[in-house]
Amino acid sequence: MKANSDELITFVTVVENGSFSRAAERLGQANSVVSRTVKKLENKLGVTLLNRTTRQISLTQEGKTISARCKRC
């Protein structure tokens, strides 16, 4: 399955803002919607893009690759 542009924009916004809550605020969406959208993208791609803890997120190697590709477009 291919990722759609909304999913990729949401993912990049999370990465750029460093958190789901700040990305949600910037996108004008609920935190849960942003989280579900990124999870849906991960499921479509079959990889984990973000390591999540209660305090922070960090990119996996796959996440770094996808993020770099998105930023070039």
Q: What CATH number is given to the structural domain containing 29?
A: 1.10.10.10
Distance CA 54, CA 51 (A): 10
Instruction: Give CA angle at 58 (34, 36), nearest 5°.
Output: 20
Higher pLDDT, 34 or 3: 34
Residue 12 has pLDDT above 90, yes or no: yes
What is the per-residue pLDDT for 6? Answer: 96
Domain range enclosing 46: 5-72
| Separation of alpha carbons 56 and 29, rounded Å | 19
For position 54, what pLDDT does the model report? 84
pLDDT at position 72 is 87
Give the pLDDT confidence of 25-68 residue by residue, as tens digits.
999 999 999 999 999 999 999 999 999 988 899 999 999 999 99
In the block, tokens 């399955």 appear at 1
User: Into how many domains does the chain fold?
Assistant: 1
Yes or no: say if 8 and 70 are a contact pair by the CB < 8 Å rule: yes
- The structure's pTM equals 0.93
| CB-CB neighbours of 53 under 10 Å | 7
